[in-house]
A = this chain, B = another copy of it.
Amino acid sequence: MLSILSDDYFMKQALAEARRAYELGEVPVGAVVVSDQHIIARGHNTTEQLRDVTAHAEMVALTAASNYLDAKYLTDCTLFVTLEPCVMCAGALAWSQIGRVVFGAGDDKRGFLRFGKEILHPKTTLEYGILEEECQELLTSFFKARRNR
């Protein structure tokens, strides 16, 4: 039985956000921020709609989580995101001192791990590969559909 509090559960919620981005013609990446087993913030990529390169799923979710908690630091929170964060998002996660980051699919070209885990805060735990195939499949199908337009 799937526990509703598992990493899989929260990554599925991030995937639901990614699908919203897909439907809007945005690169399908989604994120949720979890505190004390509750989702306190959600976000999906809106760079095209807002014409704002900073509107990545993680940035939207981070800012929403800070608003919700009325706090700059998210030390007791976990961010679930469907794709490996880019350097910008990893830098933002570092400033937030977030407790844990979990991502689905890796991103060899644009992901922050090219520059090393040191971009994150030293106290942040990192995990990845949760629902990797589903997260990657959504991106692959998006770019395939775009090429065939």
Q: Contact check, B87 vs A53: say whether CB atoms are below 8 A apart.
A: no
**Inter-chain contacts of A119 with B (CB < 8 A):** 87, 115
CA distance A90 to B5 in the complex (A): 35
Known: A87-B94, A89-B91, A90-B87. A54 touches B62 (CB 8 A): yes
**Inter-chain contacts of A136 with B (CB < 8 A):** none
Total A residues in contact with B, Cβ cutoff 8 Å = 28
The main secondary structure of chain A at its interface with chain B is helix
**Inter-chain contacts of A54 with B (CB < 8 A):** 54, 59, 62-63, 92, 95
| Oligomeric state, in copies | 2
CA distance A119 to B51 in the complex (A): 21
A 103-122 to B, binary, CB cutoff 8 A, 1 in contact else 0: 00000000000011001000
- Enumerate A29-50 residues with CB–CB distance to B below 8 Å: 47-48
Cβ of A133 under 8 Å from chain B: no
CA distance A88 to B120 in the complex (A): 10
Cβ of A71 under 8 Å from chain B: yes
Q: Which of B63, B86, B96, B115 contacts A115 (CB 8 A)?
A: B115
CA distance A47 to B92 in the complex (A): 12
Q: Could you tell me which A residues sit within 8 Å of B by CB distance?
A: 47-48, 51-54, 59, 62-63, 66-67, 70-73, 86-92, 94-96, 115-116, 119
